[in-house]
Amino acid sequence: MIAASARVLALLFAFPAACIGAVTAADIVIVYNLNSPESREVAEYYATRRNVPGGNLTGIDVPDAESISREMFDKRVSPPVRAAASNLRKNGHAPVILLVYGTPLRMEESDEAGNGELKKIAQRKAGELSPLVRELSLRLEDLDGATGQGGASDVPAIISRAEKAVVASNRLLSGAGANLEAGSIVYRLVGPANIARYMIQQAGKKADELKDDNLVKLALALQAEMDASSFRGVTLENAQNRASAARAGYGLLGELRFWHDLSNPIEIASMTSASLDSELSVALSGAHRTGGWLANPFNAQFDRNPGVAFAREDAVMAARLDGPTPEIAKRLVDDALWAEENGLDGKFYIDAKSEGKDDNYDARLRRLADMVREKGTRPVVMDSKEALFAPDCCPDAALYVGWYSLGKYVDSFGWKRGAVGFHIASAEAQTLRDKSSTVWCKRMLEEGMAATLGPVQEPYLQAFPPPDLFFPLLMSGKLTLVEAYYRSAPFMSWRMTLIGDPLYTPFLKKSSNSR
């Protein structure tokens, strides 16, 4: 705990938290299928082209198929990849996993053991804890002169009443005549982490003077531990430990909220299918929730989260060098190297759904168009009509984002070499090999695109990286493809996949479109 406190304080008083560093060839773990000679060929080709050390190639014993079971993933995929990534980590690298042609694309749905039992435990724990929280909040109201009445007894109402009682009790805790009983109740209800946070807020510019305060040290250590563990989700095995940390840091109210939230799982919690690369992103974290998505700690929104540095130590970035054929998979790295050397010229095509509507994703697309135009780095073609771009109407396409044509690629584009883009729809990466399929990821790769992303199954709209974050990061020339994706992708252990050379930096050199 003391060591953790020191690390937490260093993070707290030196925001922003450490970001992901520059990815190099020595960081890449190339994963290929032992049962596919073509898979090994693509792996070796990439290693040669990008100068990846030969020892970074890792074989997995799986069928030459696009889908495998969770059981096979746990037994044949995760252990060797985890070992390879851990070995790189020990040698000072931040590993990045690259699955290549011939490795499975997705993991099938499975029975999530313990989900029903975990819900029952959470409901029981919330039921046991809520009478105590209610009793303490009634006593706090009584001390404040507002004699508590019975009121509702359901958990949300009890939580709400306790929160209001704590806020109302502030006048009992100020000045020389502070009510000690009220202070004791408030401490039990909200815990040291909330009190420490209040102390820091009140200190304002003098917050750094609290570095040596023991309450602040211990409370922030608990907060960081909880923040870091939240990126792995709650499982049957770690639930009690997480509840204990919630009480230690955030009091009885914190634990009651924890059990109540767990007793009302969101819809996605029962969905266990995932893309292999997304699931492997949590390969170093050990036990984690396998139903639904997990928050991506590399995302820029978590930079100021005190526990994110710990979570990033346990997570890895991942992508795949893949396509309908091994030749296309190899072309992706060839195109990446070419574009890095020659620059990525061409237009940016953005296809929103309709003019003037307030849809959040359309708003992001319009914002992206304005950002690119303001920078003046390349021509932007923005379409806001309900219909998609018509066939053969988008020449010199270097970048693309648009929606929504489910599983039906529209051949509108003349892709420039090194082109990057994605189409927002529900299953555009459900296959990369089915010759009859017209899903966008497969067809864009066949038509010449160098990098794309998409879902292997319904991901929900919020799973896509916001285009007005992903593309500006990529266009900065400061981040590789995999870094730009993980700085903007919301989730791990979910259904999205990134296809392309992870080291690709398309705007390493300014193109002739730059002004």
- Tell me: the pLDDT tens digits for 167-183? 888 777 776 667 888 88
Residue 44, pLDDT > 90, answer yes
pLDDT band of residue 1 (cuts 50, 70, 90) is very low
Residue 356, pLDDT > 90, answer no
Q: Give the pLDDT mean for 286-291.
A: 83
Residue 153, pLDDT > 90, answer no
Place of tokens 């204990």: 244
Instruction: Give residue-wise pLDDT tens across range 90-112.
Output: 999 999 999 999 999 999 988 76
Q: Give the pLDDT mean for 55-66.
A: 97
How would you class 362 by CB atoms within 10 Å of its CB: exposed for 0-12, middle for 13-18, buried for 19 or more?
Answer: middle
Spell out the SS3 assignment of 154-165: CHHHHHHHHHHH
Q: What predicted TM-score, i.e. pTM, was given to this entire model?
A: 0.87
Q: Give the pLDDT mean for 109-131.
A: 84
Instruction: Give residue-wise pLDDT tens across range 456-497.
Output: 999 999 999 999 999 999 999 999 999 999 999 999 999 999
pLDDT band of residue 42 (cuts 50, 70, 90) is very high
Cis peptide before 326 (omega within 30 of 0): no
* Least trusted range by pLDDT, from 140-154, 318-332, 447-461: 140-154
Determine the Cα–Cα distance for residues 111 and 2; give it in Å rounded to an integer.
40
Instruction: Give the contacts of 68 (CB within 8 A, at least 6 positions apart).
Output: 62, 77, 104, 107, 108, 276
- Joined together, the tokens standing for residue 475 give 């266009």
Q: Domains of the chain: which residue ranges? A: 22-105+276-317, 115-267, 326-499
Higher pLDDT, 479 or 146: 479
Residue 231, pLDDT > 60, answer yes
Mean pLDDT of the chain: 87
For the range 435-443, what are the long-range contacts, defined as Cβ-Cβ under 8 Å and sequence gap of 24 or more?
A: 435/324, 437/407, 438/407, 438/408, 438/409, 439/407, 439/409, 440/405, 440/407, 440/409, 441/499, 442/323, 442/324, 442/409, 443/409, 443/411
Residue 202, pLDDT > 90, answer no
Residue 343, pLDDT > 70, answer yes
Share of the chain above pLDDT 90, in %: 63
The pair phi, psi for residue 437, each rounded to 5°, is: -75, 145
Higher pLDDT, 187 or 77: 77
Determine the Cα–Cα distance for residues 364 and 51; give it in Å rounded to an integer.
38
